[in-house]
Amino acid sequence: MAALRTAVPVLALLGLCLGPGPAAAATPLVIWHGMGDSCCSPSSMGYIQKLVEVKIPGIYVLSVRIGSNLIQDVENSFFMNVNDQVSEVCSQLATDPHLKGGYNAMGFSQGGQFLRAVVQRCPSPPMLNLISIGGQHQGRVYGFPRCPGESSHICDWIRKTLDRGAYTKAVQEHLVQAEYWHDPLKEEDYRKNSIFLADINQERGINETYKKNLMALKKFVMVKFLNDTMVDPPVSEWFGFYKSGQAKETIPLQETSLYKEDRLGLQEMDKAGKLVFLGAEGDHLHFSEEWFDSTILPFLQ
């Protein structure tokens, strides 16, 4: 989320432009950050939380933290089993009295697909709208082109580990990015050994509960960054992916077997107008406050 430092202008005297809004009418919001970020960084998720709170007076915003402090939250975004993270978040939401009547959810990058797992696995309290900002729903990052902090030893280690054995049991259980690593040249390995993404994408069979819960959403909003250099392929942010067996030609969601067989209910949701595909100019997670105000806020009100 480092991009937000320069992509979003400083909040200044914003409250002077706001009209009144009844607190009771504001639907609570749950936010989940991306890789290498934390719940409350003032230049990323903390900024987004403040922005929403100012724009929607009285709203309750929960920015998900995994761990007892911010350092653990960042570390867990790399190294904690995603299924365990989703279970932890489901527990947090179930015990939060502010959310019992339902909530909207907004995930950034990997937080987008993690929140989709939440709605599929944990229908109580109910998620009303899911907004995925740069979430990679058919997997990422084939080739791992740009890990946050390119000079970081962690990024170098992750890249080498993924290249050597993304689908081994040890790597799957302890490296977050391996759990949504989707190699189009090793589809069978992916379907058999992916412990997270292959499950929530119904690659090994149909879980009717997953399908029913996802279809209960009012809106499933997917934002793709039109100049994304971090996610490969960027169309994964709209649920598209590489055409089977190669890594050059991509196809949109509507041409995938997931859609044609309607394993998640996405075809039915699409026909009902529940799927919203939005494009944002810029690289991964680079957006302006004006774009956020005009494009995203309406789904939270």
Catalytic sites, residue numbers: 109, 228, 284
For residue 61, the cross-strand partners are 29
Give the span between the Cα atoms of 204 and 281, in whole angstroms.
Answer: 35
User: Left, alpha or beta for 270 (phi > 0: left; psi -120 to 50: alpha)?
Assistant: alpha
Give the span between the Cα atoms of 98 and 202, in whole angstroms.
Answer: 31
Give the span between the Cα atoms of 233 and 210, in whole angstroms.
Answer: 25
* Type of residue at 230: M
DSSP 3-state assignment of 41? coil
Q: What angle do CA 98, 120, 132 make, to 5 degrees?
A: 75
34 phi/psi in degrees, rounded to 5: -100, -170
Do the beta carbons of residue 293 and residue 55 sit within 8 Å? yes
104 phi/psi in degrees, rounded to 5: -95, 155
User: Which letter does DSSP use for residue 141 in this model?
Assistant: -
User: Which letter does DSSP use for residue 135 in this model?
Assistant: -
Give the span between the Cα atoms of 244 and 141, in whole angstroms.
Answer: 16
> 4: which residues sit within 8 A by CB, 6+ positions away?
43, 44, 47, 48, 285
Do the beta carbons of residue 208 and residue 108 sit within 8 Å? no
Residue recorded with tokens 């190699």: 183
